[in-house]
Structure 1
Amino acid sequence: MSIPAAQGPAIHVQGLEKSYKELHVLRGVDFDVARGSIFALLGSNGAGKTTVVRILATLLKADAGTAGVNGFDVASQAADVRESISLTGQFAAVDEILTGRENLVLIARLRHLKEPGAIADELLRRFSLTEAGSRRVATYSGGMRRRLDISMSLIGNPPVIFLDEPTTGLDPEARIEVWQAIRELAAGGTTVLLTTQYLDEAEQLADRIAILHEGRIIVNGTLAELKALLPPAKVEYIEKQPTLEDVFFAVVGDTTKTK
């Protein structure tokens, strides 16, 4: 049974702190995530991004502060929070021996959902994996595995999904595939909290971006708001050269639609 949507932000974090002995990982983190939006938590390795996600997913207890997901407190209503979320880590958690469809059917059955086959077929269609659904996952490309991993996390229609550095280690084509999948999640009403260390990823996907540095949110806003923090750009005539992405896809072709 799905958890009904609550009022207010999908995620609310206030004064979150976490330390490991003398190492202060989080030093008072505050942010809200609007429902149906993509929120990027940007920071370098060790900034505390995964720690925030683990606390919000009830996998780790905070030392101080409060956090709520879908209207439920992560400390006192952990079971309700778990019913409301799905977590996709940095590496695809798929069974390579099974086919893509079998992976999806397995998760649907473990969740005791009716018509697991129909659920699997719909997710394969949604993530452009129908033709690959009968193949063993061991034959999938990195982008296809990641899309399958994300589709598995949507079984049961969780209103909030955490994507912890979802494109780590992927090639340029696979990253574009995953980006498209994330955009489609938000378009369908799912709230996405995305952690990343890639600046272009946050710029491409996020409705709002927060930069986590040394355990604190040092800036939080839309891309336009963040750009406004810098002096206005000078208007100069510059001949636009193709980007590396333009060159890459011109040479290899855009194969994302055929996978």
Structure 2
Amino acid sequence: MSANVIEASGLLKKYGDHTAVAGVDLSVPRGEIFSVLGPNGAGKSTTVEILEGFRRRDGGTVRVLGTDPQGAGRAWRARIGIVWQQETLLPKVPVREVLRHFAGHYPAPHGVDATLELVGLTEKARALPESLSGGQRRRLDVALGIIGGPELLFLDEPTTGFDPKARRDFWGLIRNLAEQGTTILLTTHYLEEAEALADRVCVLAGGRVRALGTPDTLGGRATAQATVSWSRDGARHEIRTDEPTRAVAELAAGFDGEVPELRVHRPTLEEVYLGLIEEADGGDAEDAGNGGNTTVAGNGGGERTEALA
């Protein structure tokens, strides 16, 4: 059994003259939370839909759980779980019965009550889905995604529209799933979400991987210079340095007491991400000027089908 749940090499997808995915290489080891970031039109959705088996690629090789998703059958689909960005349309029956129905489609599902407990919906087992709050509905979507006991769970923008407390509560659920051995591929627009949850982060832009690493090291973040700033005589001063501790010590020696408005800043994940996107935009514009392809969002008119239809 491969240590990597996902392996993709040279992944390519075109829509006419437009290249949505332009040679993406990815590997995701078993048990990892792997986050994919990128602006709209970066190729995220197309890449993930290829990995899920809902979209055909035009080039490259892909193995998910050791199988090419493009020709995978029902047994393979029972090994993955998907939580769509849109809420699942459900009948007007109690939450427990909804889960019981979905569990019947899988060869070795999780127990219904155990799943309800895992997602924090035990007290809502007899409630109708339409009576749940937004956060509770999202937990029910996760329950539907994991009821089959998946080895790999795809989460597509799972906390869109959540307030800050609900988002952080939901993060606890995701960490719990990962601790129980589920490999998770997370797409999100919330950089703090990727930083809080992901073992590694991949930034896609223009259909290419622009950076890949841990949230702390992405894009050279760990070794980037720090900015030390302070105030003196009503004016703001700053220096950039590889040795912020020494710089602060030297500053402190020149003041009688605290250094006014002292700040030490290293690049945030957001700053690194925006820099990568701006760099990608510049490169893509240059490619276009030289006759290269223009990158567009990869929806392409394809259709999803239910995983167990």
Superposition TM-score, scaled by structure 2 size:
0.70
Residue 25 of structure 2 corresponds to 30
Cα deviation, 1:155-213, whole Å, max 9, x if unaligned, reads 22110011111112222232223211111111110000001111111111100000001
Residue from 196, 199, 202 that aligns with 1:210: 202
For residues 17 and 166 of structure 2, what CA distance do their matches in structure 1 show? 39
Structure with the greater alpha carbon radius of gyration:
2
For residues 34 and 188 of structure 2, what CA distance do their matches in structure 1 show? 11
Residue from 170, 173, 177 that aligns with 1:185: 177
Residue from 131, 134, 142 that aligns with 2:134: 142
Superposition TM-score, scaled by structure 1 size:
0.83
Residue from 15, 30, 33 that aligns with 2:10: 15
In structure 2, do the counterparts of structure 1 residues 80 and 104 end up closer, same or farther at CA, with 3 Å as the change threshold?
closer
Say if 2:78 and 2:106, in contact at 8 Å, map to a contact too.
no
User: Which consecutive unaligned segments of at least 5 residues does structure 2 have?
Assistant: 229-243, 249-261, 265-309
Say if 1:58 and 1:78, in contact at 8 Å, map to a contact too.
no
Say if 1:161 and 1:191, in contact at 8 Å, map to a contact too.
yes
Q: In percent, how many aligned pairs have the same letter? A: 40
In structure 2, do the counterparts of structure 1 residues 167 and 228 end up closer, same or farther at CA, with 3 Å as the change threshold?
same
Residue 46 of structure 2 corresponds to 51
Task: Give 3-state SS (helix, strand or coil) of 2:103's partner.
Answer: helix
What number of residue pairs does the alignment pair up?
231
- In the alignment, structure 1 residue 125 sits paired with structure 2 residue 92: no
Superposition RMSD on alpha carbons, in Å? Answer: 2.0
Residue 297 of structure 2 corresponds to none
Residue from 208, 212, 216 that aligns with 1:220: 212
For residues 238 and 103 of structure 1, what CA distance do their matches in structure 2 show? 53
For residues 44 and 155 of structure 1, what CA distance do their matches in structure 2 show? 31
| Counterpart mapping for 1:1-259 below 5 A | 6-95=1-90, 97-111=92-106, 119-226=111-218, 227-228=221-222, 230-234=224-228, 235=244, 237-238=262-263
Cα deviation, 1:99-130, whole Å, max 9, x if unaligned, reads 2212111101233658x8xx111111111111
